[in-house]
Amino acid sequence: MKTNECPDKRPIPQIHNRCFGLELDQKEVLTLFDLIDQHPDIKIPPGEISFNFVNEEEICRLHDQFFQDPEPTDVITFPGDLEDQVSGDICISPEYAISMARDFGHTFSRELSLYLIHGCLHLSGFRDHEVAERAEMRKGEQTLMNAVESANLFPTFTYTKNSIIYA
């Protein structure tokens, strides 16, 4: 299930906040990534990994361009090119997380952390197109969410839109 195991090299995370209204602590996000990357079930290929927080318009554009679906989505993961030392790109929609957090009774920060985990699982070789794959993905998500919760390492994300603050 895992791809390109390379124990002596690690992914190098980069954080790009391109979503107006989103505030985050990069150090906290990097700490979350370290916990994910050090988990024994996770084998993200070495190289640069970009976490891109994008607005709803951008996530819809990407979703349409690459998946022929113009609807908003939570996270889109693009595998990298190991020859170019790129692990991959993970595009995350904070605006989508607002409604999902409300629907599932999670905090906004917890929902965005789940999206980071989901993207990392994809880069680690997990898939979610078939029923059995989705079950394995959900199990991986739950395992990592439990580890983050146990370590109390959910990053603090806040999003302000129309004078409403989501945290």
CATH number at residue 69: 3.40.390.30
Q: What pLDDT does residue 41 have?
A: 86
Determine, yes or no, domain membership for 144.
yes
pLDDT interval class at 10 (50, 70, 90): confident
Q: Is residue 100 part of a domain?
A: yes
d(CA 113, CA 116): 5
Find the domain containing 122 and state its range.
Answer: 11-157
Residue type, 132: A
Task: Answer whether residue 1 is part of any domain.
Answer: no
Is residue 7 predicted with pLDDT exceeding 50? Answer: no
* Residue carrying the six token digits 């020859």: 83
What are the Cα distances from residue 82, in Å, to 9, 36, 118?
A: 12, 20, 20
What mean pLDDT comes out for the span 18-34?
96
Neighbour-count burial for 4-43, b at 16+ CB within 10 Å, e otherwise: eeeeeebbebebebebebbebeeebbeebbebbbebeebb
How far, in Å, CA of 73 to CA of 32, rounded?
A: 22
| CB-CB contact of 43 with 86 (8 Å) | no
Least confident of 10-14, 76-80, 113-117, 154-158: 10-14
* Burial (CB count within 10 angstroms: exposed 0-12, middle 13-18, buried 19+), residue 112: buried
Say yes or no to pLDDT of 20 above 90. yes
For the chain, what is the domain count?
1
Grouping H, G, I as helix, E, B as strand and the rest as coil, residue 125 is coil
pLDDT interval class at 79 (50, 70, 90): very high
- pLDDT reported for residue 161: 86
Question: Do residues 120 and 44 make contact, with C-beta atoms less than 8 angstroms apart?
Answer: yes
pLDDT band at 162 (very low <50, low <70, confident <90, very high): confident
Looking at the domain assignment, is residue 148 inside a domain?
Answer: yes
- Please state the pTM of the whole predicted model: 0.91
